Amino acid sequence: MDTGTVLKLIKCMENRLTHNDLSLEHPGPKAYVHGMRAAFTEVKNYLEMYIESQVNQVENEMNRGE
């Protein structure tokens, strides 16, 4: 997956988590909303780690070339 797409996904998830959209879209039990929030957070964190690993890889390659 390209970096631009991953960054867009992260931003979208951050927006949904900070604007409390999940509770508005899912008026069901609070446990369900909490579970959705936890799932979004987990995926967002995973994608952020992916981006960080990509940045580290590029930095390492640049340092080798010096």
- pLDDT at position 51 is 93
Flag whether 66 is in a domain: no
pLDDT digits (tens, 9 = 90+) for 18-63: 776 555 565 667 777 788 888 889 999 999 999 999 999 999 999 9
Residue 65 domain flag: no
pTM over the 0.85 mark: no
Which two three-digit tokens encode residue 63?
A: 């340092």
Strand (E) or helix (H) holding 47: helix 30-64
Residue 56 lies in a domain: yes
Residue 29 maps to a domain:
yes
Q: Does residue 14 contact residue 41 with C-beta atoms inside 8 Å? A: no
In the chain the first and final C-alpha atoms are separated, in Å, by 28
Tell me, yes or no, whether 25 lies in a domain. Answer: yes
pLDDT at 27: 64
Indicate the number of domains in the chain: 1
Q: Which domain holds residue 28?
A: 3-60
Beta strand segments in the chain, E: none
